[in-house]
Chains A and B, each alone.
Chain A
């Protein structure tokens, strides 16, 4: 087999995987909307459609941010969630209430407020993780451990701040922090969808450089890629995407890890043009499908993130054992 034929075969496999995943995602979405649809059709459909939209936005944000994060850290056991990104966002949100009061939170334009929070997140996360990556780019496990503990620190600080807030403000805060797919704010959803779309389009142009970056920092530098600039851009994109996902439905730590790795295995390739859309589609299948099973089969509705954390955690340990054997 010539290399051209092999190349064509890989391409065909990539296309087939993407097409199948798109089909699966579409099928779960349709199934979610129509199964057991009773009563006022239009009303029920509208509610379900909004829920699905939220899951698609969150799924894409989590999947894209995880794949990008894994590429710049050059490791497949990392996701922004494990590194404490989402607890950082919760901390920022809590601090906003602490310093400005819940009135500011509820009376301000939610879109403006959200924009402010995202900016704060980008600045803090960018500074913190930039510092971490610069210090110990070789020592990955220290990075992970530090990230995990940072997550604990951020959530302890949030819970400290939330206890210093007056009780009325605290109720408002809790409402915004423990939102789930059932109660997603419509304005926020629209803003989030636009943000995710814009960021995704913005990172698409980075894909070729990211493919080179995946070879490792030294190779990337030798091949003429401006490592620092790409990493900075990716960190900003990741911060925005994580903010969106966390603001909409709260932390889902292990989803990104799961979909990014399964997507890589399915696609049998590491080109970002394939892996990124594949993991986004997988995330949609996992979220919508999982929610479908939970709601229609077990008649539960908010425990999805728990199940994803369970499956994802086991997968993570298995991954560590396998990585360690190499």
Chain B
């Protein structure tokens, strides 16, 4: 990953302040938008129905959005560093698709009722799928910056085909679409708490950030600096897989989140992971929040899942990024 040093600027307090400034109004909007009427006035009047709606549905939803958005964009950022490729993220490396396969396997073969079992199996599959992707990458002698995600996307397609085939046989196609389509409409209190795990993972990423940055420069360089390259990479993969698994199990897949947000942020602020990470986390949360609010407003009182909105916005941004990067790189 190389970027012209001229573009790199210090992350100062104002960037963070700006991100928070964007996030707060969006979060407030999210609390008071939805099928059920709820206005700040209702809360002031100490309306018990309004308080219930807020505590049981709106607040958990907001927290889930913030946690998932933060975690997936940070996971994408870490993955960018580990693979040293700007276009690699959980959704372009087969990680997400493997996690979905894991959830499916847990449901069918283990009859998993417990969310924890699903989560652990999804994590194992996500890890295996990503390791397989890295193995394929090593086979590519000519790993062009754009070939790598292409392989990942194809791998994801193959894994999805396997999942679809078995889901079809087990008559689970409908549940499958629930796991593959990110949607916050079913988030209530008691059904999102697993996502707090990702908060811990995100904090872990922050403390490991410098080592990921060094690993991102390359194996030899990292070893020269006394960093256990393999250990760092494996830890990174574990963190990314855990995040992906938790998000897939709780809300489903949100396309392009781990790809577009870290790319936009590093485009503006440079590559130092530790500096960029907080802004990326906030920007990811804001992106999901905005997509979710849009999805709730466009066809009020019905909802458009965040997956669809993020798919449209994300792919347009991604296209602009790819075309722009090529122009810069010549």
**Interface of A with B (CB < 8 Å)?**
136, 139, 141-142, 144-146, 148-150, 152-153, 155-157, 159-160, 163-164, 253, 300, 302-303, 306-307, 309-310, 313-314, 316-317, 320-321, 324-325
Contact = CB atoms under 8 A, between A and B. Distances in A.
B207 interface: no
A320 B308 CA distance: 30
Contact of B154 (A141, A159, A164, A316): A316
A325 B136 CA distance: 13
Nearest to B159: A313
A313 B141 contact: no
Contacts of B302: 163
Contacts of A321: 136, 139-140
Interface in B144-178: 144, 146-147, 149-151, 153-155, 157-158, 161-162, 164-165, 168-169
A144 B83 CA distance: 20
B88 to A, nearest CB: 12
Contacts of B169: 300, 303
B304 interface: yes
Contact of B311 (A148, A152, A313, A320): A152
Given A153-B319, A317-B151, A324-B147, A164 B161 contact: no
Interface in B82-125: 87
23 contacts: A136-B326, A139-B326, A146-B322, A148-B153, A149-B318, A152-B255, A152-B256, A152-B315, A153-B315, A160-B309, A160-B312, A163-B308, A302-B168, A303-B168, A306-B165, A307-B161, A309-B158, A317-B154, A317-B155, A320-B151, A321-B139, A321-B140, A324-B140
B14 interface: no
Contact of A150 (B149, B154, B309, B319): B319
A141 B161 contact: no
A159 B308 contact: yes
Given A146-B322, A163-B299, 5 more contacts: A136-B326, A152-B255, A156-B312, A156-B315, A310-B158
Nearest to B137: A321
A320 B315 contact: no
Given A324-B140, A324-B141, A309 B146 contact: no
B323 interface: yes
A310 B304 contact: no
A26 to B, nearest CB: 29
A236 to B, nearest CB: 24
A155 B314 CA distance: 13
A141 B143 contact: no
A156 B161 contact: no
Nearest to A317: B154
Nearest to A162: B308
B35 to A, nearest CB: 15
Nearest to A319: B154
A306 B176 CA distance: 14
B29 interface: no
A313 B161 contact: yes
Contact of A309 (B157, B255, B311, B315): B157
A153 to B, nearest CB: 4
Contacts of A144: 146, 150
A324 B323 contact: no
* SS of B interface (majority): helix
Interface in B218-255: 255
A306 B169 CA distance: 12
Interface in B34-66: none
B298 interface: yes
A142 B256 CA distance: 17
Interface string B309-329: 101100110110011001000
Contacts of A313: 154-155, 157-158, 161
B165 A310 contact: yes
A36 B168 CA distance: 24
Contacts of A145: 87, 146, 149-150, 322
Contact of A141 (B141, B150, B168): B150
A153 B322 contact: no
Given A302-B168, A324-B141, A149 B315 contact: yes
A320 B147 contact: yes
Nearest to A298: B169
Contacts of A306: 161, 164-165, 168
A94 to B, nearest CB: 12
Contacts of B322: 142, 145-146, 149
Contacts of B144: 141, 324
B142 to A, nearest CB: 4
A324 B311 contact: no
Which of A139, A155, A160 gathers the greatest number of chain B CB atoms within 10 Å?
Answer: A160
A148 B150 contact: yes
Nearest to B142: A324
Interface string B262-291: 000000000000000000000000000000
B154 A320 contact: yes
Nearest to B319: A149
B319 A325 contact: no
A155 B180 CA distance: 14
Contacts of A302: 168
B53 to A, nearest CB: 24
A156 B294 CA distance: 15
Contacts of B141: 324-325
A314 B159 CA distance: 10
